[in-house]
A and B are shown apart, each in its own frame.
Chain A
Amino acid sequence: MTMNYLRPADKRPKRATKFLIVVVFLVLIAFFFSGAIGSLGKNFLNSLGFPVWKAGLASSEKFYYLGSFFSSRIKQAEEIRVLKDELLLANLNLKEFESMAEENRNLKALLNREDNQEAISASVLVRPPQSLYDVFIIDIGRRHGLVGGEKVFVENVLLGFVDEVFNKTSKVKIVSSPGFEISAFIERVNLPVVVVGRGGGNFQASLPQEVEVEVGDFLVVPGLPQKLLGQIEEVEQTETGSFKKILFRLPVNLSEIRWVAVEIGAD
């Protein structure tokens, strides 16, 4: 006599579950050894990305001019008129700026404090919002003499510091990166303040209630005369609080920056 028994339920983990366990394990290992893997990967991916970013930059310039080809003549004429007015105003301001710069150079020469820094220009390959993190990738690197820590400017605005240097490219950490702290002066009241980055070109600082600051006041970098860091956008205060929150913003639009100056030979 034969007896039939029900087969016991298969308690073995399914193939997909096994696969997931292996994946979790591999990811944990990757996190554990992230330093070694990361440094190898960084050099490789940056050398891979360099021609792609260069090609992207070239094509974006081509598309920019292609777009203007299709815009209407009336709109273009209106833009030219506005730009001519702005140019006239800018030229007047430039004359004043040049005379002040000359005066500044003379004063520095009197005090034996001449600038000995050089700057090299760099093209921006990657900028926010392409990178979620507040970083730029620029097209100069180790072979151009960068070592890391150099200051990066756009016009007279301090934009950030060179964070990592690769052979042909460098990663620039923007001063408004979340959590990044930097000392500054509020120019009009000559008040030292530590500002903390909030991302996207924004900073914040806390000041006592009695300090008189206004929207539009400029923030300058100590030791770097005539170099701006930001401008006050908003002042938040409560009647009962002893501090007020000051919100600053970089005076440039991060997504429109195409060229930067990297200061080399700084003391």
Chain B
Amino acid sequence: MSFLLNKHFLRILANLLVLASVFILPWWTLFLLSIFFLFYFHLYLEAVLAAWFFDILYSTESWFLGMYWVTFVMFLIFLLSEFLKRKIIFIND
């Protein structure tokens, strides 16, 4: 059962969950899951990729910033999370 705690296995599971949120779950679950995984995993670029999939599937041209609005916002969140992760120091006693 130790493979369940393997970080690569967890990352694959997270990717599947994020992908499922693109196809079958409400839009806000994509944001919630992505923000959590952005902080949990190192350089979680899959969140931006999932947002791009979301835009390709559902967006229309009439929206502000064209049809890649969610991708743009997710990319900003990605940059912000990377910046914050470097500023946060965890101390383990």
Contacts and interface: CB of A to CB of B under 8 A. Distances in A.
Interface of A: 16, 19-20, 23, 27, 30-31, 34, 38, 41-42, 45-46, 49, 52-53, 56, 126, 129-135, 137, 163, 171, 173, 177-180
Given A126-B57, A129-B28, A132-B27, 17 more contacts: A16-B43, A20-B79, A23-B45, A34-B67, A38-B56, A41-B52, A41-B53, A56-B24, A132-B54, A133-B60, A135-B58, A137-B57, A163-B60, A171-B58, A171-B60, A177-B62, A179-B63
Contacts of B23: 49, 52-53, 56
A180 B62 contact: yes
A137 B58 CA distance: 8
B59 A133 contact: yes
Contacts of B43: 16, 19
Contacts, number: 71
Interface of B: 23-28, 43, 45, 48, 52-54, 56-60, 62-64, 66-68, 70, 75, 79, 82
A130 B27 CA distance: 5
B56 A41 contact: yes
A20 B64 CA distance: 26
10 contacts: A34-B66, A38-B67, A42-B57, A45-B56, A52-B24, A53-B24, A126-B57, A129-B26, A135-B60, A171-B60
Contact of B63 (A46, A171, A178): A178
A94 B48 CA distance: 51
B57 to A, nearest CB: 5
A53 B25 CA distance: 10
A129 B31 CA distance: 13
B53 A45 contact: yes
B63 A133 contact: yes
B34 to A, nearest CB: 13
Given A52-B24, A178-B63, A133 B68 contact: no
Given A19-B43, A49-B23, A132-B27, A126 B58 contact: yes
Contacts of B82: 16, 20
3 closest A-B pairs by beta carbon, nearest first, are A132-B27, A131-B58, A41-B56
Contact of A132 (B52, B58, B75): B58
Contacts of A135: 58-60
B62 A179 contact: yes
A173 B24 contact: no
A126 B59 CA distance: 12
B66 to A, nearest CB: 8
A26 to B, nearest CB: 9
Nearest to B53: A45
Nearest to A135: B58
A133 B56 contact: no
A37 to B, nearest CB: 9
Contacts of A30: 52
A129 B27 contact: yes
Q: Which of A34, A46, A129 is the most central at the interface, judged by chain B CB atoms within 10 Å of its CB? A: A34
A173 B60 contact: yes
Nearest to B29: A130
Contacts of A180: 62
A131 B27 contact: yes
Nearest to A52: B23
A189 to B, nearest CB: 29
